[in-house]
Chain A
């Protein structure tokens, strides 16, 4: 299979994207309205792509499972979005941002993709401001910045603690504008359940109307998946309840390769679990680490309240272990360091599963008013959830599953291994390597949708113009629809005794323990067997109530069925990678003081898994990573 050609354009790193754009094929304006596209997802990646391509003149069908496009989970991003504007004159540049991102990803991403991300970051800020995104401003009226984990410059733009919401509303409004112009039709409360291939090319999807339960067919000249991340596989995570891996998984079963599947980021500053019924872990933005200091008591099993523990009996473990970056160390490192302290018995809080995030010094130095201005909504949110006033007591935080670096394999043009199927945003694997830097993923979702897909998709469509427009009466649609219906019926007919949530929670716990913040060969092998057994139990003992119309339990069942397969592939991916890199920490591969040991000689590649059928072994393909500009160094934040 030659699918693993990443199609990187010729030329020096700085020129590749320009070279591509100069040569990319175009579709003439009169022909654009003859072509139809499907975009699944209305998050930053989906909405921006749909709006931008509709502006060019294509007709687009846009899908989301929420009741409005504005509710995609991009809305929940708090902290900010990166761009190498260098407004602070602190030494930032496109190259530096590129380097920080490559290094942050532990040298497991493509140079060319990452460089393009940094390059396009400049235009994104311009675009968002033009749409009315109310980014924070200095008193002189110019845009303000703050710094985020893993970098030494201030390149993060933010809108209080609701940056994702404001960026998304900008993209959503652009989308609604195109809808009012008749270019876009949005299908809310619709879930994609299968991809339709005709002659090996993506030509449509099968969806379920979540209100009526109707199974529908949609045909198009190309299909875009911008369906977000699958971190909800752990059940407890910072993702929304409906986030799923189903769209990409069904595409995977139709032949799209999946990459870096086990690279999952745990966010260091989430609220800890506080009880059995808990359904979600709320994130406290990483930006809090700009002013908050992280610590645990020096004494194991400490009983005193935080305020009563004197300075010299506190262990500011990030400042101790990583003096250069301290509390702003990258996420994987901060999360693992927290887990290390918690596992060693120094955890705090009622369940001893947390660490402190303390603002007392910042409040003393800057005043409560300043801290309030920067973070008031986060402090309010913290109080709403926990009942605790964080101006007076330190917050309790702990790591939580948060972001999936892995996803569908895509080439430089964001096309998957299936011609005509594109994957954008968190749904693809591309730019973050084995660890994503904070505030880079809003950026990636936006850049994919506003600036990359509007060149690469027409480049593909130009050749499709001659092809016949497909109709939903094609036998490939009959077959896909029949499969979808059979699957739904199968789930309804199991009539066992255990609820979907039981299976989701069990899978989540298992993955958290064995394929979470740290992994081992033995644990992963066990996990694979346990997941297989759990999957068998699912298909013999699942209990669904309700009917085939509006039925949340049925929706969840379909997602968990896919998670039960995806979870196994995650373990397989983690098992084959016998090194530690980024978020992937294999216990066997660490230094004496617990730092990750990467193996560039054997593992400087991207894994790309091929589905071979139910109960068949996945096949591993490798896309070797070659580095022309950066030299691979040990990723040290000391």
Chain B
């Protein structure tokens, strides 16, 4: 099939970017979206032009490195699917496709579609861990954890940190990302003890990075490749308020 592509090109963080038109012929339905981008880049090389920079690594939906706004949607038209898992069978011959980077005040565009998501790492540094140094652990089966609890913790822990939740949110909120980590650790007996301190520090960091507030539009859950539920945000808010109360007493 033949495609009209409008792709965001930007030299670096300080220069302005713009959409550039490209035509691509010979795309097949079983190609992935990124393989389509590879094909376009091959053409650009033939023409002697700089290739389009985009992030990707595992190409199987788990590393969280890929991510583009495709026709205005984070990771493209399918719900709960990363850009690398999107295939060209989701598009029509002759279609015009807009491709832009994930945008947020807390993500900087580095070049073309590549962005800096270091703010996520800093939110985790603020408290997204259990303070268990190597060697301190007790025998693994000494603390039983209910099957349902372990499964619920997994549901939250499955976050791949791609930033689609932020990119799709009109407030650029990182609430789903942060909530997923807070809840994952809070519901496990190993992580529970540090909850109050953790949630407080992570929220502060989230704000310091310039992420916006959550106004419960629930847009994030739709785009999240792991389908992480917005109910985690409710629980996160509860834990946050609880930590504030505790710190007052």
Does B246 count as interface, using CB distance less than 8 angstroms?
no
Contact indicator B129/A162 (Cβ below 8 Å): no
Task: Tell me the complex Cα distance, A387–B154, Å.
Answer: 26
Contact indicator B128/A545 (Cβ below 8 Å): no
Specify which chain B residues have a CB less than 8 angstroms from the CB of A275 in the assembled complex: 28, 30-31
Does B60 count as interface, using CB distance less than 8 angstroms?
yes
Task: Tell me the complex Cα distance, A221–B32, Å.
Answer: 45
Contact indicator A129/B137 (Cβ below 8 Å): yes
> Contact mask A485-505 → B, CB, 8 Å, 1/0?
000000000000001010000
> Contact mask A168-197 → B, CB, 8 Å, 1/0?
010011101101100000101000000000
Does A138 count as interface, using CB distance less than 8 angstroms?
yes
Q: Which of A128, A131, A551 has the most CB of B within 10 A?
A: A131
Give the interface size bracket for B toward A.
35 or more
Contact indicator A173/B137 (Cβ below 8 Å): no
Contact indicator A130/B132 (Cβ below 8 Å): yes
Contact indicator B111/A550 (Cβ below 8 Å): yes
Contact indicator B53/A552 (Cβ below 8 Å): yes
Contact indicator A282/B60 (Cβ below 8 Å): yes
Specify which chain A residues have a CB less than 8 angstroms from the CB of B145 in the assembled complex: 137, 141
Task: Tell me the complex Cα distance, A393–B65, Å.
Answer: 32
Specify which chain B residues have a CB less than 8 angstroms from the CB of A240 in the assembled complex: 57-59, 63
Specify which chain B residues have a CB less than 8 angstroms from the CB of A201 in the assembled complex: none
> Contact mask A84-122 → B, CB, 8 Å, 1/0?
010100000000000000000000000000000000000
Does B87 count as interface, using CB distance less than 8 angstroms?
yes
Contact indicator A543/B45 (Cβ below 8 Å): yes
Distance (whole angstroms) from the CB of A237 to the closest CB of chain B: 11
Contact indicator A137/B87 (Cβ below 8 Å): no
Q: Which of B38, B60, B114, B117 has the most CB of A within 10 A?
A: B60
Specify which chain A residues have a CB less than 8 angstroms from the CB of B138 in the assembled complex: 126, 130
Does B97 count as interface, using CB distance less than 8 angstroms?
no
Distance (whole angstroms) from the CB of A425 to the closest CB of chain B: 16
**Residues 3-37 (chain B) with a chain A CB within 8 angstroms:** 12, 28, 30-32, 34-36
> Contact mask B53-88 → A, CB, 8 Å, 1/0?
101111111111100000000000010010001010
Specify which chain A residues have a CB less than 8 angstroms from the CB of B55 in the assembled complex: 67
Specify which chain B residues have a CB less than 8 angstroms from the CB of A140 in the assembled complex: 144
Query: A137-B147, A545-B51 are contacts. A279–B120 as well, Cβ < 8 Å?
Result: no
Task: Tell me the complex Cα distance, A569–B59, Å.
Answer: 28
Q: Which of A71-79, A256-264, A614-622 contacts B (4 or more CB under 8 A)?
A: A71-79
Query: A66-B57, A160-B154 are contacts. A387–B146 as well, Cβ < 8 Å?
Result: no
Q: Which of A129, A139, A165, A545 contacts B158, CB < 8 Å?
A: A165
Distance (whole angstroms) from the CB of B28 to the closest CB of chain A: 6
Contact indicator B35/A143 (Cβ below 8 Å): no
Distance (whole angstroms) from the CB of B131 to the closest CB of chain A: 7
Please, which residue of chain B has its CB at the minimum distance from the CB of A135?
B150
Distance (whole angstroms) from the CB of B8 to the closest CB of chain A: 15
Distance (whole angstroms) from the CB of A260 to the closest CB of chain B: 25
Please, which residue of chain B has its CB at the minimum distance from the CB of A274?
B30
Does A337 count as interface, using CB distance less than 8 angstroms?
no
Does B219 count as interface, using CB distance less than 8 angstroms?
no
Task: Tell me the complex Cα distance, A297–B136, Å.
Answer: 54
Q: Using a Cβ cutoff of 8 Å, how many contacts connect chains A and B?
A: 221
Task: Tell me the complex Cα distance, A557–B1, Å.
Answer: 30
Contact indicator A68/B137 (Cβ below 8 Å): no
Specify which chain B residues have a CB less than 8 angstroms from the CB of A283 in the assembled complex: 60
Please, which residue of chain B has its CB at the minimum distance from the CB of A141?
B144
Distance (whole angstroms) from the CB of A385 to the closest CB of chain B: 7
Specify which chain A residues have a CB less than 8 angstroms from the CB of B158 in the assembled complex: 162, 165
Q: Which of B49, B58, B85, B147 contacts A384, CB < 8 Å?
A: B85
Contact indicator A454/B134 (Cβ below 8 Å): yes
Contact indicator A241/B185 (Cβ below 8 Å): no
Does B210 count as interface, using CB distance less than 8 angstroms?
no
Contact indicator B110/A131 (Cβ below 8 Å): no
Task: Tell me the complex Cα distance, A130–B60, Å.
Answer: 28
Task: Tell me the complex Cα distance, A274–B154, Å.
Answer: 33
Task: Tell me the complex Cα distance, A499–B42, Å.
Answer: 7
Task: Tell me the complex Cα distance, A485–B84, Å.
Answer: 33
Task: Tell me the complex Cα distance, A279–B136, Å.
Answer: 43
**Residues 115-154 (chain B) with a chain A CB within 8 angstroms:** 116-118, 120-121, 124-126, 128-141, 143-147, 149-151, 153-154
Task: Tell me the complex Cα distance, A274–B65, Å.
Answer: 24
Task: Tell me the complex Cα distance, A240–B63, Å.
Answer: 9
Does B214 count as interface, using CB distance less than 8 angstroms?
no
Please, which residue of chain B has its CB at the minimum distance from the CB of A165?
B62
Does B50 count as interface, using CB distance less than 8 angstroms?
yes
Specify which chain A residues have a CB less than 8 angstroms from the CB of B141 in the assembled complex: 85, 87, 142-143
Q: Which of A127, A169, A241 contacts B137, CB < 8 Å?
A: A127
Does A51 count as interface, using CB distance less than 8 angstroms?
yes
Q: Which of B34, B63, B121, B141 has the most CB of A within 10 A?
A: B63
Specify which chain B residues have a CB less than 8 angstroms from the CB of A280 in the assembled complex: 59-60
Contact indicator A142/B57 (Cβ below 8 Å): no
Task: Tell me the complex Cα distance, A159–B31, Å.
Answer: 30
Task: Tell me the complex Cα distance, A547–B158, Å.
Answer: 37
Task: Tell me the complex Cα distance, A274–B35, Å.
Answer: 12
Contact indicator B85/A68 (Cβ below 8 Å): no
Q: Which of A73, A176, A451, A546 contacts B125, CB < 8 Å?
A: A176
Does A63 count as interface, using CB distance less than 8 angstroms?
no
Task: Tell me the complex Cα distance, A387–B90, Å.
Answer: 11
Please, which residue of chain A has its CB at the minimum distance from the CB of B161?
A70
> Contact mask A48-75 → B, CB, 8 Å, 1/0?
1001100100000000001111110101
Contact indicator B133/A55 (Cβ below 8 Å): yes
Query: A142-B144, A143-B141, A177-B129 are contacts. A76–B188 as well, Cβ < 8 Å?
Result: no
Query: A87-B141, A176-B121, A179-B125 are contacts. A241–B59 as well, Cβ < 8 Å?
Result: yes
Contact indicator A550/B63 (Cβ below 8 Å): no
Does B105 count as interface, using CB distance less than 8 angstroms?
no
Does A631 count as interface, using CB distance less than 8 angstroms?
no
Contact indicator A385/B114 (Cβ below 8 Å): no
Contact indicator A241/B57 (Cβ below 8 Å): yes
Task: Tell me the complex Cα distance, A176–B140, Å.
Answer: 23
Contact indicator A75/B157 (Cβ below 8 Å): no
> Contact mask A415-446 → B, CB, 8 Å, 1/0?
00000000000000000000000000000000
Does A255 count as interface, using CB distance less than 8 angstroms?
no
Does B44 count as interface, using CB distance less than 8 angstroms?
yes
Please, which residue of chain B has its CB at the minimum distance from the CB of A137?
B150
Specify which chain A residues have a CB less than 8 angstroms from the CB of B135 in the assembled complex: 127
Does A473 count as interface, using CB distance less than 8 angstroms?
no
Query: A126-B138, A132-B191 are contacts. A68–B117 as well, Cβ < 8 Å?
Result: yes
Specify which chain B residues have a CB less than 8 angstroms from the CB of A165 in the assembled complex: 62, 158, 160
Contact indicator B62/A51 (Cβ below 8 Å): no
Task: Tell me the complex Cα distance, A76–B143, Å.
Answer: 28
Contact indicator A277/B38 (Cβ below 8 Å): yes
Does A136 count as interface, using CB distance less than 8 angstroms?
yes
> Contact mask A238-273 → B, CB, 8 Å, 1/0?
001110000000000000000000000000000000
Does A465 count as interface, using CB distance less than 8 angstroms?
no
Specify which chain A residues have a CB less than 8 angstroms from the CB of B234 in the assembled complex: none
Distance (whole angstroms) from the CB of B13 to the closest CB of chain A: 9
Does A372 count as interface, using CB distance less than 8 angstroms?
no
Specify which chain A residues have a CB less than 8 angstroms from the CB of B153 in the assembled complex: 132, 134
Can you list 7 A-B contacts with CB-CB less than 8 angstroms, sorted by A residue number?
Answer: A67-B117, A73-B63, A76-B60, A174-B134, A177-B129, A188-B121, A211-B110
The 5 closest A-B pairs by CB, nearest first: A141-B144, A130-B137, A173-B129, A126-B137, A130-B132
Known: A128-B140, A177-B125. 9 other contacts (CB 8 A): A70-B64, A73-B58, A75-B64, A76-B60, A139-B146, A141-B145, A141-B147, A174-B134, A384-B78
